[in-house]
Amino acid sequence: MAESVERLQQRVEQLERELAQERSRRAVGGGDGGGGRVRIEKMSPEVVDSNPYSRLMALKRMGIVSDYEKIRTFAVAIVGVGGVGSVTAEMLTRCGIGKVKTFLFACHNGKLLTSGVNQLLLFDYDKVELANMNRLFFQPHQAGLSKVQAAEYTLRNINPDVLFEVHNYNITTVENFQHFMDRISNGGLEEGKPVDLVLSCVDNFEARMTINTACNELGQTWMESGVSENAVSGHIQLIIPGESACFACAPPLVVAANIDEKTLKREGVCAASLPTTMGVVAGILVQNVLKFLLNFGTVSFYLGYNAMQDFFPTMSMKPNPQCDDRNCRKQQEEYKKKVAALPKQEAAQEEEEIIHEDNEWGIELVSEVSEEELKNSSGPVPDLPEGITVAYTIPKKQEDSVAEVTVEDSGESLEDLMAKMKNM
Are 85 and 104 within 8 A, CB to CB?
yes
Which of residues 192, 343, 362, 379 is near a copy of itself by CB under 8 A? 362
Residues 78-137 that bind a copy of itself (CB under 8 A): 87, 90-91, 94-96, 113-117, 129-131, 133-136
Residue placing its CB nearer to a copy of itself in the complex, 178 or 359: 359
Hey, how many other C-beta atoms are within 10 angstroms of the C-beta on 21? 15
CA 238 to chain centre: 10
Residues 28-57 that bind a copy of itself (CB under 8 A): 28-30, 33-37, 47-56
Tell the smallest beta-carbon distance from residue 256 to a copy of itself (Å): 9
Residues 254-313 that bind a copy of itself (CB under 8 A): 257-260, 263-264, 269-277, 279-280, 282-284, 286-288, 290-291, 296-298, 300, 303, 307-312
Residue placing its CB nearer to a copy of itself in the complex, 310 or 412: 310
Residues 133-162 that bind a copy of itself (CB under 8 A): 133-136, 139-145, 149-150, 153-154, 157-159
Which string of x and - marks every residue 312-351 that binds a copy of itself (by CB under 8 A)? x-x-------------------------------------
Residue placing its CB nearer to a copy of itself in the complex, 312 or 339: 312
Which of residues 178, 295, 359, 413 is near a copy of itself by CB under 8 A? 359
Tell the smallest beta-carbon distance from residue 55 to a copy of itself (Å): 4
Number of residues that bind a copy of itself (CB under 8 A): 128
CA 144 to CA 30: how far, in whole Å?
27
CA 86 to CA 94: how far, in whole Å?
12
- What residues have CB less than 8 Å from 271, skipping those under 6 apart? 229, 230, 231, 422, 423
Catalytic status, residue 328: no
SS (H, E, C) 237-248: EEECCCCCCCCC
Active site residue: 249, 270, 323, 328, which one?
A: 270
Assess 411 for contact with a copy of itself (CB under 8 A): no
CB hemisphere CA count around 180 (13 angstroms): 33
Assess 189 for contact with a copy of itself (CB under 8 A): no
Residue placing its CB nearer to a copy of itself in the complex, 71 or 209: 71
Assess 355 for contact with a copy of itself (CB under 8 A): no
Which of residues 16, 334, 353, 404 is near a copy of itself by CB under 8 A? 16
Catalytic residues: 270
